[in-house]
Structure 1
Amino acid sequence: MSTTTPSSRPAAAPDAASVTPAASPRPHATTTEAPHTRPGPDRPPRTTDSRTRLVLAVLLVAQFMLAVDFSILNVALPAIGDGLGFSLGNLQWIATSFALSAAGFTLIFGRIGDLVGRKRIFLGSLALLGLASLVGGLATSPAVLLAARVAQGLATAAATPAGLSLLTTSFPEGPLRQKALGLNGALMSAGFTAGAVLGGVLTELLSWRWAFFINVPVAAAVLLIAPSVIEESRPAERPKLDVPGALSVTLGLLGLVYGLTQAGEHGWTDPLALTGLVAGAVLLAGFHAVERRVAEPLVPPAVLRRRNVAWGNVLGLVAFLTETSLVYLLTLYLQKVLGFSALQAGVSFGVLGLGTVVGGLLAPRVIAKTSTRSALIVGGLVQAAFTAVLLLLGTAAGPAMALLLPATFLGGVGNMLVIVGFMVTATSDLPNHEQGLATGLATMSQQIGITMGTPIMSAVVTAIGTSATTGILPAVKTAIAVNAGLALAAALTAALVFRRRTPRNP
């Protein structure tokens, strides 16, 4: 495993397929840990089984809650608009304000966790999430609710990479970490789907306010248990924070996400969409130039030159973009074509959520018996195939659901193979002091993928157009075809980029 520092000459970039799942990590000499949890070169951390399971449970519950927040308000937006007086044009900002802050600040918060302590950032951000959720549930005006959504997004941007870093540093590279990442990936993806179901149920039976309130007891429970079971993890030496890099990447991501959301709402020719996209691209190009010159960069170029990190994150971004945007497209289909209610549409996605859970449990076994490369390729092909099957959907509800439910289940299994393969790939073969950076990049890819997917597919639907004669179905099918094509392209990319196979585990 490389121990290259940001200022030293990088080693040759390893490829993800050459990272043996059972490889043993070096001693974690760069982190401050309690003596009883310090791992040796060839053995896992010395923790009791019950303590390890408790740490895993706490982190997974928190990550699941964070994933739920991405989608729990989607079906509640009309009810919120009616209750607080949002105009139709401003209603999108309930989702956009969260997405902007969650995606834009992920990388910088991941790096701050490396510097000041991941446990500290994790606990602080969960406290902020609980407080923001309480304020959002009690909001009596649009301004208060939007402020609460921004705070929720900032808390998510800090808690997600910190929690994932604590997860990767709690388990050595190999089967234990793969199993933990598989469970994490399954719950993260299932959380997005469960959010749609839960949001519909809570809004229908109680009130949209409970879509906020539900976070409060969960965050409180994690904050009560986590301090006594999770060990602090941070570098022994704290480098300076790269302020120019942090500002340029954060503003660049904000511009990019804003431009995409505006494009999804108003089309690709909208002036605000074009301004956001161009400004984001310029700022991200500036970030790349800054990172090549500063002494202690936010994202060392040597890390991005690693094939497993760079291409792993590209594949992860596509995996999240395609599956979460497919939920949006099928929501349009179920409600606009088949006439389902919001609650019926949300419940229909429970099968997709079950598929992601099965895929998350299956992925570590596939990786252990074959390789991360196989998981990325096979998962992408399965996802692409069963997404393409949805092109056969028609206007009759019975035959449509007989096709949609098994296709989304199997597509969810394939998508989760890719997501777990991406998580293992993008966080492997890195020293412990760079895990916060690696998980920050992985989390950023995940959240940008979730944020980009719906606007991109919405823009495709808008570009195709609908009319009273043809209806919305042809536009939805065109977007589904684009979705399947992206999944197929990702699988072929994995096959080409990661050419060397990982030896089978003994």
Structure 2
Amino acid sequence: MSTDLSTGASSPPSPDPRRWWALVVIALAQLIVVLDMTIVNIALPSAQQDLGMTDGNRQWAITAYTLAFGGLLLLGGRLGDLFGRRRSFVVGLIGFAVASALGGAATGPGMLFAARALQGVFAALLAPAALSLMTTTFTDPRERGKAFGVFGAIAGAGGAIGMLVGGALTEYLDWRWCLYVNAPVAAVAVVGALVLLKDPGRTAGARLDIVGALLGTAGVLSIVYGFSEAESRDWDDSLVLTLLIGGVALLGLFALWQTRARTPLLPLHIVRDRQRAGAYVTMALVTISMFGVFLFLTFYLQGIKGWSPLRTGVAYLPMTASMIIGSTQISARLLQKVPARTLIVPGLTLAAGGLAVLATIDVDAPYAGRVLPGICMMGLGLGVTFMAAISTATGRVAPQEQGAASATLNTMQQVGGSVGTALLNTIAAGATSDWLTDHRIDPTRQTPQVRAALAEATVHGYSVATWISAGIMLLAALVAGVLINAKAPGRQAGAPEPGPGTKAFETPVHAG
């Protein structure tokens, strides 16, 4: 901060002249984290055959990453607050690149699973630091809106881009390049971070809440693992119930401890704020709805339509373009002029409409007439939503708590993805089984008629789960409409609520 000597008033700091190049660096880092959520899905069949994975343990190529990533996010965000966000960003990038190279060089399933878990560990350090650096690099509300537009587009479209890149690399090179590709991208981002990013510094005198870290990490790990196991086991399985109930109990103890800890891992006033709580719950519901549908649509295009991995990835490009348009051309232009829920509620309603269109597909549905309109509606709606929700979730937070706020948002998305994948897959499998029973089809018979019936039953299962997904998306719109009630940022004054013993954050309010 600088001081006007004639008036004695503080003036806002001058913007960093290299901030837009810094955005490129942060966006690259965010992209590789989001990409790795889906890029391995496309490569998994080839990796399974190459490494001799069984059908029972192949899921660990995905689960090992999501478990480590989701379980350690709160700890990773707090470490960024304590030791410096640029340092956490760089260490996270380097570690992620090394883990990716190890995964690409895997000689067996165990090595691949361990490398994927290591990727998750460093992603948990990297992702909150990236989002925190976004908030502290762009202090002007209008510029921050544009920057969050780009960031939101990447957050939303990264999954679809991962499918495209994964399909191309698997088809033309080798599945291992789906992991190797992270290393050169991370190297460029590391150099850019060292040259372009400013570190807002560490919180003086702060300590790490060890008990809170153990309780919070164990609770999130237990819930994510419980939902991942629910895919292959029944929901009333003793292990699944133990994990889910135990995870909730641990998070309850975590919340109780945070009220007593001297330096809490997650200051509870962050999640008690109505706007942020609304944004967190909204993003969790959106992720639940979205992740399962990505999976179903990929299986539909490859398994039912017989498309190649590359062609499937290309099919998602219009959705990616729609997300970018919604985020950068609509949300970024309006966020400072209208309340956040004025963007989020219509955006989620449009996305739910797109899901409803996708829910009507059948075995012979044309891509241009049915799939394309659905994914474009969904992409445009999510693009408008993500930027407004992300900026609301990280708004009005003191600099020393940005890591915790960012990590909480990432945790809600990660847990939402795990819940959505398990829940919607279970619904789809049950609907498929019911259809076969109702039509008295024996799936063990390998006749052309039975195979045609199996395809129809599978698509019916996808359809039922997608209708449920549309309902969850509408529920997210309802939550946002009720909880996120702040006025447009340009029409309100105020500063972020400081935590106990902290000074108010002087960056202008940009959301909620």
TM range (shorter): 0.7 to 0.9
Alignment RMSD (CA, Å): 2.0
- Structure 2 unaligned runs (5+)? 4-8, 442-452, 493-512
The residue identity in structure 2 corresponding to 1:498 is I
Q: In structure 1, what is the Cα distance between the partners aligned to 2:123 and 2:50? A: 26
The residue identity in structure 2 corresponding to 1:492 is L
- For 2:341, the equivalent position in structure 1 comes to 373
- For 1:72, the equivalent position in structure 2 comes to 39
Comparing 171-180 with 63-72, greater Cα deviation is found at 171-180
- For 1:488, the equivalent position in structure 2 comes to 474
Structure-2 change in CA distance of 1:214 and 1:338 (3 Å): same
Q: In structure 1, what is the Cα distance between the partners aligned to 2:217 and 2:85? A: 20
Shift of 1:268: 1.6
The residue identity in structure 1 corresponding to 2:474 is L
Q: In structure 1, what is the Cα distance between the partners aligned to 2:423 and 2:160? A: 19
Shift of 1:225: 2.3
> Are 2:91 and 1:135 aligned?
no
> Are 2:234 and 1:300 aligned?
no
Percent of residue pairs identical:
33
- For 2:495, the equivalent position in structure 1 comes to none
The answer to whether the Cα contact below 8 Å between 1:193 and 1:353 also exists between their aligned partners in 2 is yes
- For 2:458, the equivalent position in structure 1 comes to 472
Q: In structure 2, what is the Cα distance between the partners aligned to 1:397 and 1:485? A: 22
Q: In structure 2, what is the Cα distance between the partners aligned to 1:28 and 1:114? A: 24
Q: In structure 2, what is the Cα distance between the partners aligned to 1:249 and 1:204? A: 41
Structure-2 change in CA distance of 1:234 and 1:437 (3 Å): farther
SS at 1:266's partner residue? Answer: coil
> Are 2:32 and 1:46 aligned?
no
Shift of 1:454: 1.4
Structure-2 change in CA distance of 1:419 and 1:426 (3 Å): same
The residue identity in structure 2 corresponding to 1:217 is P
- Structure 1 unaligned runs (5+)? 1-26, 30-39
* 2:30 counterpart (55, 63, 79): 63
- For 2:91, the equivalent position in structure 1 comes to 124
* 1:384 counterpart (328, 339, 352): 352
Shift of 1:392: 2.2
SS at 1:265's partner residue? Answer: coil
SS at 1:393's partner residue? Answer: coil
Structure-2 change in CA distance of 1:113 and 1:479 (3 Å): same
Shift of 1:505: 6.1
Alignment of 1:140-155 (within 5 A): 140-155=107-122
The answer to whether the Cα contact below 8 Å between 1:338 and 1:397 also exists between their aligned partners in 2 is no
Q: In structure 1, what is the Cα distance between the partners aligned to 2:59 and 2:163? A: 16
The residue identity in structure 2 corresponding to 1:480 is T
Comparing 313-322 with 242-251, greater Cα deviation is found at 313-322
Shift of 1:42: 5.3
- For 1:422, the equivalent position in structure 2 comes to 389
Comparing 171-180 with 334-343, greater Cα deviation is found at 334-343
Q: In structure 2, what is the Cα distance between the partners aligned to 1:352 and 1:342? A: 17
The answer to whether the Cα contact below 8 Å between 1:265 and 1:458 also exists between their aligned partners in 2 is no
Shift of 1:119: 0.7
Q: Deviations over 1:408-461 (max 9, x none)?
A: 112111112221111111111122221111111112122222333211211111
Q: Deviations over 1:281-300 (max 9, x none)?
A: 11111111111222221111
Q: Deviations over 1:167-215 (max 9, x none)?
A: 1111126221121111011012211111111111111111101001101
* 1:222 counterpart (174, 189, 192): 189
Question: What is the aligned length?
Answer: 467
- For 2:484, the equivalent position in structure 1 comes to 498
Shift of 1:247: 0.6
Higher relative contact order (CA 8 A, sep 6+): 1
Shift of 1:110: 0.3
> Are 2:236 and 1:250 aligned?
no
Q: In structure 2, what is the Cα distance between the partners aligned to 1:172 and 1:101? A: 32
The residue identity in structure 1 corresponding to 2:111 is V
- For 1:18, the equivalent position in structure 2 comes to none
- For 2:175, the equivalent position in structure 1 comes to 208
